[in-house]
Amino acid sequence: MTDNRFVNRSELIGILLLAVFLVVILPLCLDVFRLNLVAKYLTYAFVALGLVICWGYGGILSLGQGVFFGLGGYCMAMFLKLEASSVENTKIQSTPGIPDFMDWNQITSLPLFWKPFHSLSFTIAAVILVPGIFALIIGAAMFKRRVGGTYFAIITQAVAAILTILIVGQQGYTGGINGMTDLRTLKGWDIRPDHAKIVLYFFEVGCLFVCIFIAQFIRHSKLGRILVAMRDKEDRVRFSGYSVANFKIFAFCVAAIFAAIGGAMFALNVGFMSPSFVGIVPSIEMVIYTAVGGRLSILGAVYGTLLVNFAKTSLSESFPELWLFGLGGLFIAVVLAFPNGLAGIWGDYVHPRIDRLINSSKPKSGDGWTDSSVADGAPAE
């Protein structure tokens, strides 16, 4: 890997294949209901993508990505909820014009921190900045003190637990355990009918590709190499004069912002936000998506998320009482047999054969999904 372009030939092919899969094949094969499910799955792909940067390359295992997914999602949901709570929609309440859950909790006027969410541009800024700044604070507090590895993972879990308790406890302001439901329109445009679902799906896929390119760029830049170096031998990087903490903070913030964009997409596509995405269990699930896809592979993260969620949906539809066992079995099988996930399967078995078929004379060049210079590195944690 000597070229400095942020995407090489075989990676470009991989990205194009994914684009064809998401933009052409899935919309043609699936009805709107299933397509909307894919849109929901893809919101987690943003998180998985962030984890590839932060965990796969940076070696920072965060078990609290649900926090950022939730923050992004709640920012978006607050905007949508305010729009759905117009005075005429909420006539039945004792205080019309405020979200229904506030009325149930005897709050009689809109709290101050809700007011800016009347504005869409503020909301979009908040979706990125609130989780970004939050990650900056956590990251600075941890990495400057050289807290890393398992301790960092535990702290992210604690943050996830704290935020869940906060959201559930402050139900007058957040909707509590019910979350924010019944989100209807975006700037007067109804997000619920079928054609809106299709538009939202393509919009989301567009955003996902922007994030994929950003991830590609980070990975191939000097920054990406420092991340990998730091993961494998943190002290050497520090002795070479780099500020390890700043690079870690950066990777963590990028992962947080990706997760937050996913959360905002979730609120738009599903019309719903609830604390059940913020806690420890969903956060760990998000790490599993990355692990199944292969934590070193940017595209693998997307495929891993899709695979796990498809399995989840179809297993639970076919075996409503036993499906969790099937899903657990799938995780164990993938992790035991293919430690590098789907990308490992592709890189080790499928891709070499295709290569051999196409040009058997040339030596093996850089492969599509896994960057060999990175994939060979020992796992950091």
Partner 1 sequence: MSDEINKGLQSAFRRKLLMGMAAIPALTMLPRPSFAQAPATSAINTTGLAVTDTEVTVGILHSATGTMAISETGSIEAEKLAIEQINAAGGVLGRKIKFIQEDGASDWPTFAEKAKKLLVNDKVAAIMGCWTSASRKAVLPVVEQYNGMLYYPTFYEGLEQSKNVIYTGQEATQQILAGLNWIAKEKGAKSFFFVGSDYIWPRTSNKIARKHVENVLKGKVVGEEYYPLGNTQFNSVINKIKLTKPDVIFTDVVGGSNVAFYKQLKAAGIDLSKQALLTISVTEDEIDGIGGENIAGAYACMKYFESLDNPNNKAFVPAFQKMWGAKTVIGDVTQAAYLGPWLWKLTVEKAGSFDVDKIATASPGVEFKGAPEGYVRIHENHHLWSKTRVGRAKLDGQFELIYETADLVEPDPFPKGYQ
Residue from 44, 46, 69, 101 binding partner 1 (CB under 8 A):
101
Tally of CB atoms within 10 A around 136: 16
Q: Output the DSSP codes for 184-241.
A: -EETTEESSSHHHHHHHHHHHHHHHHHHHHHHHHHHHSHHHHHHHHHHH-HHHHHHTT
Q: For partner 1, give the closer residue by CB, 274 or 290.
A: 274
Residue showing tokens 């869409």: 120
> Residue 357: CB partners within 8 Å, gap ≥ 6?
none
Q: Residue 275: what residue type?
A: P
Alpha helices in 144-177 (DSSP H): 149-169, 171-174
Region of 98-106, 148-156, 249-257, 344-352 interacting with partner 1 (CB under 8 A):
98-106
Return the DSSP state at 180: B
> Residue 197: CB partners within 8 Å, gap ≥ 6?
32, 35, 36, 39, 191, 269
Residues of this chain, 130-169, that bind partner 1 according to CB under 8 A:
165, 168-169
Q: Is 70 in the site for partner 1 (CB under 8 A)?
A: no
In the complex, what is the shortest distance from the CB of residue 324 to partner 1, in angstroms, rounded to a whole number? 5
Residues of this chain, 187-246, that bind partner 1 according to CB under 8 A:
192
Q: Is 118 in the site for partner 1 (CB under 8 A)?
A: no
Residue from 46, 55, 277, 346 binding partner 1 (CB under 8 A):
277
Residue 176 main-chain phi, psi, to 5 deg = 55, -145
Residue 313 main-chain phi, psi, to 5 deg = -65, -50
Beta strands in the chain (DSSP E): 185-186, 189-190
Q: For partner 1, give the closer residue by CB, 183 or 253.
A: 183
Mask: binding to partner 1, 288-307, rule CB under 8 A, as x and -? --------------------
- The answer to whether residues 343 and 293 touch, using CB atoms and an 8 Å cutoff, is yes
Q: Is 321 in the site for partner 1 (CB under 8 A)?
A: yes
Residue from 24, 158, 199, 324 binding partner 1 (CB under 8 A):
324
User: How would you class 353 by CB atoms within 10 Å of its CB: exposed for 0-12, middle for 13-18, buried for 19 or more?
Assistant: exposed
Site residue total, partner 1 (CB under 8 A):
34
Region of 269-277, 286-294, 356-364, 365-373 interacting with partner 1 (CB under 8 A):
269-277
Residues of this chain, 11-50, that bind partner 1 according to CB under 8 A:
31, 33, 37, 40
> Residue 120: CB partners within 8 Å, gap ≥ 6?
79, 186, 187
In the complex, what is the shortest distance from the CB of residue 11 to partner 1, in angstroms, rounded to a whole number? 33
Q: Is 350 in the site for partner 1 (CB under 8 A)?
A: no
Q: Residue 202: what residue type?
A: F
In the complex, what is the shortest distance from the CB of residue 177 to partner 1, in angstroms, rounded to a whole number? 5
- The answer to whether residues 262 and 283 touch, using CB atoms and an 8 Å cutoff, is no
Residue from 19, 110, 133, 181 binding partner 1 (CB under 8 A):
181
Region of 3-11, 54-62, 273-281, 290-298 interacting with partner 1 (CB under 8 A):
273-281
Return the DSSP state at 189: E
In the complex, what is the shortest distance from the CB of residue 39 to partner 1, in angstroms, rounded to a whole number? 12
List interacting residues with partner 1 (CB under 8 A).
Answer: 31, 33, 37, 40, 92, 94, 101, 104-106, 165, 168-169, 171, 176-179, 181-182, 192, 270-272, 274, 276-277, 313, 316-317, 320-321, 323-324
